[in-house]
């Protein structure tokens, strides 16, 4: 988190280190989703420009890589939408499938992956209770009986899990 403070203080050397560390990862992340070298290069550059321009509003509580990848994802979606609109207005079909369904698929796939990672990073008991409730459809009472705990404790674990997921989703959507 000290890098974020340095970035907010306009430290260009720290920005350069962040750029060198994450540029290949951001590029690969976008290339994997779009299958376009041009778009991956474009989105990567725009992401780092946006990152520098918005350094004052970076969160001190969220890791740089999470904020960078969130920005990259949003820049990619914005660029794909602009390209799709441009092709529609010009009456052309896009050379790559810049459709709403592609954008939706990218958003959904990324969101599901991020949520699953978040669930896996939860404390063990919270994760097990959350998965039994949300994935297996067990009631609070059934889960409480399985673990020999009160239904209120189950409710608290699920509440904490939902708060954690909502906070992470909020940071992604910034």
Alpha helices in the chain (DSSP H): 2-8, 12-34, 37-53, 64-89, 100-120, 124-134, 140-147, 151-173
CA distance 16 to 10: 11
How confident is the model over 101-124, as pLDDT tens digits?
555 656 666 777 778 888 898 999
Alpha helices in 35-99 (DSSP H): 37-53, 64-89
Least confident of 42-56, 94-108, 118-132: 94-108
Per-residue model confidence (pLDDT) at position 171: 64
| Mean pLDDT of the 62-84 span | 85
- pTM for this structure? 0.54
pLDDT band at 27 (very low <50, low <70, confident <90, very high): very high
Domains of the chain: 1-110 (1.10.1740.10), 122-174 (1.10.10)
Per-residue model confidence (pLDDT) at position 166: 79
């Amino acid at each position: 988190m000290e890098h974020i403070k340095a970035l907010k203080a306009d430290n260009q050397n720290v920005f350069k280190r962040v750029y060198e560390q994450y540029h290949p990862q951001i590029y690969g992340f976008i290339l994997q989703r779009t299958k376009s070298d041009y778009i991956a290069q474009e989105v990567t550059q725009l992401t780092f420009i946006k990152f520098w321009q918005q350094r004052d509003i970076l969160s001190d509580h969220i890791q740089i890589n999470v904020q960078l990848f969130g920005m990259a994802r949003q820049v990619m979606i914005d660029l794909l939408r602009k390209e799709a609109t441009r092709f529609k207005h010009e009456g052309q079909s896009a050379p790559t499938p810049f459709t709403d369904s592609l954008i939706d698929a990218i958003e959904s796939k990324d969101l599901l992956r991020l949520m699953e990672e978040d669930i896996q990073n939860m404390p063990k008991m919270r994760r097990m209770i959350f998965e039994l409730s949300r994935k297996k459809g067990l009631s609070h009472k059934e889960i409480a009986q399985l673990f020999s705990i009160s239904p209120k404790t189950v409710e608290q674990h699920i509440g904490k899990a939902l708060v954690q997921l909502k906070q992470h989703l909020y940071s992604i959507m910034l």
